[in-house]
Amino acid sequence: MSEINHDNHDHEHNHDHAHDHEHTDAELAAKKAARPQIERSNTHWLTLEHYNNDPEFMKQAETEFNSSPLREGDGEDGVARRDFLKLMGASVAMATAGCIRRPVQKIVPYNKQPEEVTFGVANFYTSTYFDGSEGLGLLVKTREGRPIKIEGNPEFPLNQGGLSIRSQASILSLYDPERLQGPRHNLFNEKRTNKDTVSIKWDNLDDKVVAQLKKGGAVILSGNISSPSTRAIISDFSQGFKASHVVWEPLANEDILEGQKASYGEAVIPQYRFDKAKVIVSIDADFLGTWISPVAFNRQFSNGRRDPKVMSKLVSFDS
């Protein structure tokens, strides 16, 4: 009796296994049949095989687009699923590779902590930034004496809290990793082509600089300077050491200065008021982007166009 039951059990097991296999094949065939068929129209075609609906071409057209890596289907989809699992495994491996404990770093405390510095509390300082002829008022956010963010000063009359792209990026100049940490002396060769330098003390540097200045003929090269006090210092320095001062700006407004001098006898940059203008004609002058003082001009221009009834009109000619 036990043998008969055993045979019956095997028969039923094999029958169930075949039934499951047939059921799986039927499901796969149904899913494959449910996929949208690619229909080729003879109205638009690329090749003669495409026009004649060549069987080989149609077979290749069926695999023109990759199947979904998550779709359950035939063997081709199985390859796609394996590739998907490989990519997921590689992504998880790369993500976990970076999950390491950060090294322990100790903060060196102040020997004499400044009274205005509180750990974790930011301090703000007012400053200015000059870019050519544009002057901006700044609020510099600092933490433990290190500037980390630049914002516009809302009480400064020119920008009134606005900033330009260059002024925002100017904070990076304070964190130049290749900046000099102290004075260095250049070891020039005979042709003065090498850039090898050695460290030098400040006292020795001052002696060498003073000796060269006493010979006369020094030239001070700078950009546009709007500060009266800075210009006065340069003037006194030039007179004391018989030096000359050369100002150069890559984005100068020499054409405006020459035009003003020819028209009115004085080489100055006029003060524009776009908020009071009714009609604005711009000829190759991007006054909202880079021309003279775009931060102030943007505010003026927007103020002059708030009321639709009396808003200004802009006519622009660009080459």
Q: Examine the pLDDT at 70 and tell me if it is beyond 70.
A: no
List of residues 6+ apart from 285 with CB closer than 8 A: 291
Measured over the CA atoms of residue 250, residue 251, residue 252 and residue 256, the dihedral's sign is positive
Q: Are strands 146-152 and 134-143 parallel, antiparallel or unpaired?
A: antiparallel
**Per the CATH hierarchy, to which homologous superfamily does domain 123-175 belong?**
ADC-like domains (2.20.25.90)
- C-alpha atoms less than 13 angstroms from C-alpha of 192 in its C-beta half-sphere: 0
Amino acid letter for position 136: L
Other CB atoms within 10 Å distance of the CB of residue 51: 14
Instruction: State the chain's mean pLDDT as an integer.
Output: 79
Cα(99)–Cα(84) distance, rounded to whole angstroms?
23
pLDDT bin (cut points 50, 70, 90) of residue 190 is low
Task: Provide the residue ranges of all domains of the chain, joining segments of one domain with +.
Answer: 17-92, 123-175, 184-247, 254-317
pLDDT bin (cut points 50, 70, 90) of residue 7 is very low
Other CB atoms within 10 Å distance of the CB of residue 224: 15
Q: Examine the pLDDT at 163 and tell me if it is beyond 70.
A: yes
pLDDT one-digit tens code per residue, 116-140: 888 889 999 999 888 767 788 999 9
Other CB atoms within 10 Å distance of the CB of residue 277: 15
Q: Examine the pLDDT at 24 and tell me if it is beyond 70.
A: no
pLDDT one-digit tens code per residue, 80-95: 677 778 888 888 877 7
State the DSSP code for 69: T
